């Protein structure tokens, strides 16, 4: 049997090779059509003053084995359909494959990226290690001799064995019958990017389709291609993306890698081959070059669970940062995910001048790595201040002072990290849990839908001229982005030296912001005169809610300043700039009814009167809503849990009465900072 197979395979491969090797590794670049996205200015809604687009850049589907083994069968195509507003069945499933739970977004997203764990894609079969048994298999010999043809072979095997009913192949099986050169013949190769365009039919055909066997990475790319709206309606954008899953000893160094176009590496660089982030960046820079039409950025998340690793001020050899290394980090990572299902990474609120920032208690995970409370806390500990972005950004200022470059110059986004394949499903109610690990996986089973410390996660908001990959990606690069905890307030934040004090009363607020300052994510221009102080204008509209979505009014806007003084000491201060922290808004945690006044919109022009021109500084705005019930409280109320009568509380609702976790939250938005750098 093996013998027969060998003969056949060997001859086939020789045949393919003798055909002139016309299927070289141009396959991905060729059919990808990165240029197919709407050209700038093509969208009907194009707005030169930019507009806020809401999305989710952290989504797991069936291709993440941790989601898969929890019962998620939602694939990337389903995930994008869900993001666009379609109803989706989620696990667990009945015996006939019917879902037991359904979920749907009340408000579809503008963009999304499926980011499955690359470490389990397993795109290339084992052929390169002589210790392995199959090193000498004929297909492996071919792989080593002619890797560019090997994918043809592997995929031929994938297609052909052993389901092949007979040979020669009947008409019904197009790909095989079109060997060795695939013609159109009215047949469409199975994946949308697998070949050149047939200009007559306007569909795909061509010689490269043997590589089109379905694998996770290819399916992820196909899903992104297929659901990216190319019409001038520009309704929805997708990104080809994946998660780089580095977590030495469960200390989280995860990053989502987002690609600008459909031109992407053939195999996504993963942790096994790139065991440090700087190696990831190196490999990406080699395999994703701008010249070839490939661009990328990486977005770290859950620094709160990195046990001190995410913002270490050393490289992997334990050397201090150099200017070059700091530049590399900044170029590769313009954004960080400040909030998601596994908590916020903004601030801990226990050290320094910000110790009295009570809003740092928001969705704070009580341990410092991915081990969580398993093993009795043996492999983890209390959260560490340096793992939070506010502290890291201050460290970044310090490094900038010393090196001239700030490695931790992060713009801010939120996302969900859903493992149900449900991007943007981030409202507190109904929250189906983030994966299959909840207490009550099916409707009708009682219990909290997730562990008590988890939460639904947030959204990424990008300021772009229009909803296309190109325009959104440029926004990420500019850091013109903000994060929300799942709600949809609209926030504008500008900084400059001559923003008029009456900006809030003018209808050209946004024009003024751009003309007289820089938007969130930008750098203040040099101080124009000795006594000049920077002025910040921040304006916010509350989440309007809508059919099936409740929303709360705004409570206040704060500006948070971080700076480093002449001695290199780090400082931070929270300024109340609009609204009223003591507006008396409240929630009845027995009913989740909210009450008290709030603001439909807030606006402020604030001057930093303590400004010292020789101090490096950053400023970001935090827009805070009135309090509302946390997801767990909604579920506890619905189940009529009575903590005053502990004996009546079912085990699955025990955490309703866990005093370590708050009953209410204040939804919020965090803008990307604006930075100030003294003149050299």
Partner 1 sequence: MKHLLLKLAGEPLLHFTLLGAVLFASQDVWLPLLQPTTITVSQADSQRLLAQWQRDTGKQANRETVSALIQQYIDEEVLLHEARWLGLQARDPVVRERLIRNMRFVEQNQQRDDAALLDAALALGMLETDLVVRRRLLQRMRHRIEAQAAMTTAEVDAYFKRHAQHFAKPPRFTFQQLYFSHNASEKRLAAQSAIAAGASEETLGKLGEPFLLGNKLQNLSQDEIERQLGPEIAQAIVQAMPGEWIGPINSIYGQHLLRLEIITKSEPPRFADVRREVIARFYAEREDATLRATLLQLRKRYKVEIEPPRQEAS
Site for partner 1 in 575-594 (CB under 8 A): none
568 vs 597 by CB, closer to partner 1: 597
217 vs 563 by CB, closer to partner 1: 217
Report H helices in 376-523: 389-403, 469-478, 509-516
Please list every residue from 408 through 447 that binds partner 1, using CB under 8 A: 440-442, 444-445
Determine if 500 is a binding residue for partner 1 (CB under 8 A): no
Per the omega criterion (within 30 degrees of 0), is the bond before 311 cis? Answer: no
Determine if 145 is a binding residue for partner 1 (CB under 8 A): no
- Spatial contact of 181 and 19, defined as CB atoms under 8 Å apart: yes
Please list every residue from 193 through 212 that binds partner 1, using CB under 8 A: 201-204, 212
- How far apart CA 213 and CA 194 sit, in angstroms, is 9
219 vs 480 by CB, closer to partner 1: 219
Contact flags string 542-571 toward partner 1, x per CB under 8 A: x-xxxx---x--------------------
Determine if 39 is a binding residue for partner 1 (CB under 8 A): no
User: Least CB distance from residue 258 to partner 1, whole Å?
Assistant: 20
**Which burial class, exposed, middle or buried, applies to 217 when counting CB atoms under 10 A from its CB (0-12, 13-18, 19+)?**
buried
The 3-state DSSP class for residue 625 equals: strand
- How far apart CA 22 and CA 207 sit, in angstroms, is 8
Window of 248-256, 448-456, 582-590, 599-607 that interacts with partner 1 by CB under 8 A: 599-607
- How far apart CA 297 and CA 300 sit, in angstroms, is 10
Determine if 225 is a binding residue for partner 1 (CB under 8 A): yes
Determine if 515 is a binding residue for partner 1 (CB under 8 A): no
Binding residue for partner 1, selected from 28, 62, 246, 413, defined by CB under 8 A: 62
User: Least CB distance from residue 174 to partner 1, whole Å?
Assistant: 5
The 3-state DSSP class for residue 577 equals: strand
- Spatial contact of 29 and 293, defined as CB atoms under 8 Å apart: yes
Give the E-state strand segments of 76-170 in sequence order.
88-93, 99-103, 111-114
**Which burial class, exposed, middle or buried, applies to 516 when counting CB atoms under 10 A from its CB (0-12, 13-18, 19+)?**
middle
User: Least CB distance from residue 533 to partner 1, whole Å?
Assistant: 24
Rounded to 10 degrees, what is the CA torsion of 372, 373, 379, 383? 60
Window of 90-98, 618-626, 636-644, 660-668 that interacts with partner 1 by CB under 8 A: 90-98
Determine if 266 is a binding residue for partner 1 (CB under 8 A): no
User: Least CB distance from residue 18 to partner 1, whole Å?
Assistant: 6
How many beta carbons lie within 10 A of that of residue 248, not counting itself?
14
By CB under 8 A, the count of residues binding partner 1 is 109
Binding residue for partner 1, selected from 113, 220, 222, 264, defined by CB under 8 A: 222
224 vs 253 by CB, closer to partner 1: 224
- How far apart CA 570 and CA 470 sit, in angstroms, is 37
Per the omega criterion (within 30 degrees of 0), is the bond before 368 cis? Answer: no
Determine if 172 is a binding residue for partner 1 (CB under 8 A): yes
Give the CA count within 13 Å in the CB-facing half-sphere of 193.
29
40 vs 289 by CB, closer to partner 1: 40
Determine if 292 is a binding residue for partner 1 (CB under 8 A): no
The answer for residues whose C-beta is within 8 angstroms of residue 247's C-beta and 6 or more apart is: 253, 254, 369, 370
- Spatial contact of 386 and 302, defined as CB atoms under 8 Å apart: no
65 vs 196 by CB, closer to partner 1: 65
User: Least CB distance from residue 137 to partner 1, whole Å?
Assistant: 8
Determine if 600 is a binding residue for partner 1 (CB under 8 A): yes
81 vs 301 by CB, closer to partner 1: 81
Determine if 285 is a binding residue for partner 1 (CB under 8 A): no
């Amino acid at each position: 049997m093996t013998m027969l197979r060998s003969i056949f395979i060997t001859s086939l491969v020789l045949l393919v090779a003798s055909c002139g090797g016309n299927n070289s590794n141009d396959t991905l670049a060729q059919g990808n059509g990165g240029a197919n996205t709407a050209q700038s200015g093509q969208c009907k809604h194009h707005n030169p003053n930019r507009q806020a687009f809401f999305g989710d850049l952290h989504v797991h589907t069936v291709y993440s084995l941790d989601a898969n083994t929890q019962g998620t069968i939602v694939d990337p195509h389903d995930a994008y359909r869900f993001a666009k507003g379609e109803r989706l069945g989620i696990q667990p499933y009945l015996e006939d494959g019917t879902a037991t739970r359904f979920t749907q977004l009340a408000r579809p997203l503008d963009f999304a990226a499926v980011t499955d764990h690359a470490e389990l894609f397993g795109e290339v079969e084992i052929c390169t290690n002589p210790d392995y048994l199959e090193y000498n298999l004929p297909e492996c010999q071919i792989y080593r001799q002619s890797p560019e043809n090997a994918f043809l072979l592997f995929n031929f095997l994938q297609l052909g064995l052993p389901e092949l009913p007979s040979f020669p192949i009947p008409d019904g099986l197009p790909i095989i019958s079109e060997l060795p050169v695939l013609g159109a013949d009215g047949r469409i190769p199975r994946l949308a990017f697998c070949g050149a365009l047939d200009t007559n039919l306007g569909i795909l055909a061509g010689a490269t389709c043997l590589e089109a066997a379905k694998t996770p990475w290819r399916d992820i790319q196909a899903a992104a291609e297929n659901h990216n709206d190319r019409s001038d309606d520009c309704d929805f954008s997708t990104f080809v993306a994946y998660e780089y899953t580095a977590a030495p000893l469960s200390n989280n160094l995860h990053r989502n890698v987002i690609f600008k176009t459909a031109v992407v590496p053939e195999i996504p660089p993963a942790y096994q081959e790139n065991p440090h982030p700087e190696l990831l960046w190196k490999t990406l820079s080699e395999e994703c070059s701008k010249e070839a039409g490939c661009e990328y950025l990486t977005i770290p998340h859950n620094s709160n669970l990195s046990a001190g690793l995410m913002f270490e001020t050393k490289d992997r050899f334990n050397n201090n940062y150099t200017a070059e290394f700091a530049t590399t980090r900044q170029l590769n990572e313009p954004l960080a995910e400040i909030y998601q299902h596994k908590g916020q990474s903004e601030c801990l609120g226990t050290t320094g001048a910000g110790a009295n920032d009570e809003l740092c208690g928001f969705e704070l995970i009580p341990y410092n790595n991915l081990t969580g409370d398993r093993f009795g806390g043996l492999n983890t500990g209390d959260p560490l201040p340096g793992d939070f972005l506010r502290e890291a950004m201050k460290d970044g200022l310090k490094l900038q002072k010393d090196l001239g470059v700030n490695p931790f110059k992060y713009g801010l986004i939120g996302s969900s990290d859903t493992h149900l394949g449900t991007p943007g499903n981030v409202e507190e109610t109904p929250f189906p849990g983030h994966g299959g690990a909840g207490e009550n996986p099916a409707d009708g089973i009682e219990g909290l839908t997730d562990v008590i410390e988890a939460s639904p996660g947030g959204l990424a908001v990008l300021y772009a001229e229009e909803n296309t990959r190109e325009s959104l990606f440029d926004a990420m690069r500019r850091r013109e982005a903000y994060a929300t905890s799942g709600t949809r307030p609209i926030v504008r934040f500008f900084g400059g030296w001559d923003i008029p004090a009456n900006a809030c009363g003018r209808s050209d607020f946004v024009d003024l912001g751009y003309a007289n300052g820089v938007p969130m994510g930008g750098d203040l221009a040099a101080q124009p005169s000795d006594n000049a102080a920077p002025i910040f204008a921040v304006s916010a509209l509350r989440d309007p809610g809508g059919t099936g979505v409740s929303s709360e009014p705004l409570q206040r806007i704060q500006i948070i300043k971080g700076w480093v003084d002449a001695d290199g000491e780090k400082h931070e201060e929270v300024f109340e700039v609009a609204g009223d922290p003591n507006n008396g808004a409240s929630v009845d945690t027995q009913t989740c009814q909210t009450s008290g006044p709030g603001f439909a919109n807030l606006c402020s022009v604030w001057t930093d009167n303590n400004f010292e021109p020789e101090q490096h500084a950053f400023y970001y705005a935090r827009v805070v809503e009135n309090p509302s019930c946390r997801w767990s409280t909604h579920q506890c109320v619905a189940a009529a849990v009575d903590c005053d009568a502990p004996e009546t509380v079912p085990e699955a609702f025990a955490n309703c009465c866990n005093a370590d976790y708050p009953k209410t939250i204040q939804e919020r938005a965090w803008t990307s900072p604006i930075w100030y750098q003294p003149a050299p």
